[in-house]
Structure 1
């Protein structure tokens, strides 16, 4: 899953990026509203963490422009302005959730997880597909209750597929959502990761739709 982090404070931006990466997300960063607006319009994200007090262009105007352009990515706004008026303005501009500074990192991660689940029509923190369970809170993957060790990229591929049950996902789409912008992307490696997942989780879990991509049986 891929996140856009728009935050102008270098120290906080670094802390947030590290926490999100440790949680298994590919993270792109924007230090100002102009870059955030551009990335949000040109790159596919699963969620955005957007500070309202950005330089060059404020977060509220960025959010309004995205929504006016039909960009529906889930957005969590961060604000140092804790007044209810600011929160209402953010929600009315199209935000899906908000968090006032200062905040606990655990709460931010929980809210991001919830946004992504809801965007996929999923309610539970544990995603299940047959014998496979992925706990979005801990990153733990099990098969019939037995833990399975995955590499970071194997986990990202599985997580994206399990957040989109029953959907045919192309290699290009997977590539766009498991790698950050500055990563040397190669869609051919997706086939390698899928092959490893099949060996570790069971060969029937991820189906190949010839010429189209991959499909995970509906999570239940």
Structure 2
């Protein structure tokens, strides 16, 4: 598995990279925020470890730019900013997990493994699209290579969970998908999250889609579906 470590502290970068390589990971390092996004795009890593306090460009800005450009790589934030507000901000920018410094190395390894299991479980549970390898509907399109979502050829700036919900619905446009099934794909392996959380994600996605295009419809007792505008 290929991992990109974005960390400006030379000592921590060296220590983490050595330890993770001993775990069999292929580790690439970057210590500058301005160069991180370009390296991220070129490497196409399987997972990113991201520090927030970076020279050149703040880590949150790097993450936001990556998500806007369609990069879906799972991200674990590593930072000394331990306040709850900073954690929420990082997750809202598209991070998948958050580990405040100082942290135990074994915990970091466990979080990497847990995130990898969730991703594998999610990909194995994805429904087969009815449109072959193309997920397209009413101007919405999913890139088969990087998973980015486009609306009329413009990248949709979606947080990971909203993007996961939209991809699941695009696999079966016009067909209702049960709330429980969607929950498994949007929150894979997250047993501490309530089923009702999918309603919040659907609400936010509906607002982002706006009006005039594909509509996200709630069918009480059945689930959700995407329908063409009327």
Report the TM-score when normalising by structure 1: 0.54
- 1:42: which partner in 2? 42
1:48-67 matched pairs, under 5 angstroms: 48-67=48-67
2:24 is the counterpart of 1:24: yes
- 2:87: which partner in 1? 87
1:78-117 matched pairs, under 5 angstroms: 78-117=78-117
Question: How many pairs were matched up?
Answer: 123
1:75-154 matched pairs, under 5 angstroms: 75-121=75-121
**Separation of aligned partners in 2, 1:119 and 1:38:** 24
**Separation of aligned partners in 2, 1:28 and 1:66:** 17
- 1:203: which partner in 2? none
**Separation of aligned partners in 2, 1:117 and 1:75:** 14
**Separation of aligned partners in 2, 1:3 and 1:34:** 18
Bigger relative CO (Cα 8 Å, ≥ 6 apart): 1
Deviates further, 29-38 or 5-14: 29-38
- CA RMSD for the aligned pairs? 1.4
**Separation of aligned partners in 2, 1:114 and 1:54:** 26
Q: Segments of 4+ in structure 1 off by > 6 A?
A: none
Deviates further, 33-42 or 53-62: 33-42
Q: Structure 1: any 5+ residue segments left out of the alignment?
A: 124-220
Structure 1 residue 81: Cα displacement: 1.0
SS at match of 1:29: strand
Report the TM-score when normalising by structure 2: 0.52
**Separation of aligned partners in 1, 2:83 and 2:51:** 15
- 1:157: which partner in 2? none
- 1:9: which partner in 2? 9
**Separation of aligned partners in 2, 1:109 and 1:76:** 11
- 2:33: which partner in 1? 33
Structure 1 residue 122: Cα displacement: 6.5
- 1:206: which partner in 2? none
SS at match of 2:76: strand
